[in-house]
């Protein structure tokens, strides 16, 4: 059975406390523009653009002030209706990214050989040395728009920051996969670099 119409809306911050608990939320506004099924979100931290051409649905901005984005799906089956909420979640992550940013913290874990991490090209390239005592240097390039730095407050900690949550998380995954232990029991050999915390660059408020 198909549903005639399924829709959901996303609130767009206009300097007031809408949708997200933003710090100094009275002064933060986000601009959302549509070009067909392409969503462009502009905020204080930058601009994010995402295309949804592969999904057959309608995107529209509501009201004269365009402070709500509506996603409509006509005559959809169960799987197609699930894409409505998916699109809304992607747009909410884009809004959160251009206002607060995303920060992933990673920690180095080792039993004997200390893992040495060196930043190159202003944090765009990560070099991992002495993993399990190996001479081979592992190089991991961050995704575009993602920066990596060594924490000054915590030993053996990396901090990844960016506006796109998918690029930040993917960069963290590349670092973790680069330190995968091969041909050994991973229950015994736990050496590697793992995600320890997921947060935002700008701290959230509970007001």
**42: Cβ–Cβ under 8 A, 6 or more apart, which residues?**
30, 31, 32, 33, 98
Is the pLDDT at 64 greater than 80? The verdict is no
How far apart (Å, rounded) are the C-alpha atoms in residues 152 and 131?
A: 21
pLDDT by residue (tens digit) across 12-36? 987 544 444 444 344 578 999 999 9
HSE-CB of 154 using CA atoms within 13 angstroms = 12
Neighbouring C-beta atoms of residue 185, cutoff 10 Å: 7
**Burial grade of 87 (CB within 10 A; 0-12, 13-18, 19 or more):** buried
First to last CA, the chain: 43
Mean pLDDT value across residues 127-133: 96
- The confidence score (pLDDT) of residue 203 equals 83
DSSP-assigned beta bridge partners for residue 14: 29
State if pTM tops 0.85: yes
- The confidence score (pLDDT) of residue 27 equals 58
Which of 169, 193, 152 is CA-nearest to residue 160? 169
- The confidence score (pLDDT) of residue 14 equals 77
SS3 labels along 120-164: ECCCCEEEEECHHHCCCCEEEECCCCCEEEECCCCCCEEEEEECC
Contact 81, 6 (CB under 8 A): yes
How far apart (Å, rounded) are the C-alpha atoms in residues 13 and 20?
A: 8
Could you give the domains of the chain? 3-16+27-100 (3.90.930.12), 102-200 (3.90.930.12)
Neighbouring C-beta atoms of residue 130, cutoff 10 Å: 15
How far apart (Å, rounded) are the C-alpha atoms in residues 81 and 93?
A: 20
């Amino acid at each position: 059975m198909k549903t005639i119409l399924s829709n959901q809306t996303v609130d767009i911050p206009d300097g007031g406390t809408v949708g997200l608990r933003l710090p100094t939320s009275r002064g933060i506004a986000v601009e959302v523009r549509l070009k067909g099924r392409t969503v462009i979100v502009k905020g204080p931290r930058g601009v994010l653009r995402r295309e949804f051409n592969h999904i057959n649905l309608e995107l529209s901005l509501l009201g004269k002030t365009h402070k709500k984005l509506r996603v409509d799906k006509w005559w959809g089956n169960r799987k197609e209706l699930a894409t409505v909420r998916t699109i809304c979640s992607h747009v909410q992550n884009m809004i959160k990214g251009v206002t607060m940013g995303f920060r992933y913290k990673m920690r180095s874990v080792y039993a004997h050989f200390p893992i040495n991490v060196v930043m190159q090209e202003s944090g765009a390239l990560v070099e991992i040395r002495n993993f399990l005592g190996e001479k081979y240097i592992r190089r991991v390039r961050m995704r575009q728009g993602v920066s990596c730095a060594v924490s000054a407050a915590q030993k053996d900690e990396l901090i990844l920051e960016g506006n796109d949550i998918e690029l930040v998380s993917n960069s963290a995954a590349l670092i973790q996969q680069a330190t995968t232990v091969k041909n050994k029991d991973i229950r015994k050999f736990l050496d590697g670099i793992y995600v320890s915390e997921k947060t935002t660059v700008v701290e959230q408020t509970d007001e």
